[in-house]
Amino acid sequence: MRDIEFELVGDYALFSDPLTRPGGEKNSLIVPTYEALRGAVRSCFWKPTIIWIIDQVRVMNPIRTETKGQLLINYSGGGKDLAYFTYLQDVRYQVKAHYEWNRNYPERKSDWNEKKYTDMIERALKAGGRRDIFLGTRECQAEIRPCKFGEGEGYYDAVGELALGYMYHGMTYPEEAVMQEDKKYLTVRFWRPVMKNGVITFLRPEECTDKTHIRKMEFTRFSFREGI
């Protein structure tokens, strides 16, 4: 399928580190996760006929953080508690992605029209997306726009290789699962990314061998009328 290249720009981003969330405070991972980028492009355009695959992300701006106090509702004792969220500040990412046909819905095979979907996606991208775009959390609004991946100067272009440690990759839902053993479960994936001169090349979801089945989940079915 044809590559789609776009840029995400925002004042703030919060790609929550799962280790910090149980305490009520959130600290952002220093780079976007596969799932966060997939969520952004799905907000731009999505249909059950397609699956978005994120290929690469390029970090354009220096990684900076800012901590803000947030008043959270105390559901156990009443009132409010003060928590601190650590955001990424002034973020800009170039993303290369592509879509593939969702073969878990064979009844939609008549809708596998590459020109139709490529044209629809390009129109949605030029319009800034069909729905609000955000980076990790709802309060981190972002702008999406077309770009040429690799163009322009990035802050980490000459940094070399940087290992980012053990990191959350994303979630696999039954209706988008490729591996047979994942088609009845909600599955969480992890991996060890490496940033090379500002660019992270993602593993495909089915290539992530470190994964856990969280719980059983029903396969989602969508009604389909040909030509829509």
pLDDT at 16: 87
Q: Which residues contact 75 (CB under 8 A, 6 or more apart)?
A: none
| Residue-averaged pLDDT of the chain | 91
Predicted confidence at residue 70, as pLDDT, reads 77
> Once rounded to an integer, what is the mean pLDDT over residues 171-180?
92
For tokens 């809708």, the residue is 111
Instruction: Indicate whether 52 belongs to any domain.
Output: yes
Reference 52, options 2, 115, 127, 110; nearest CA is 2
- What does the pLDDT read at residue 18? 74
Alpha carbon distances (Å) from 164 to 25, 34, 53, 61, 193: 22, 14, 21, 17, 6
Here the tokens at position 64 are 């900076």
Assigned domain for 71 exists:
yes
What's the number of domains the chain is made of? 1
Residue 168 is part of which domain span? Answer: 3-216
Whole-number pLDDT of residue 222: 78
Q: Is 228 inside any structural domain?
A: no
CATH number of residue 44's parent domain: 3.30.70.2660
Residue 160 lies in a domain: yes
What pTM did the predictor assign? 0.91
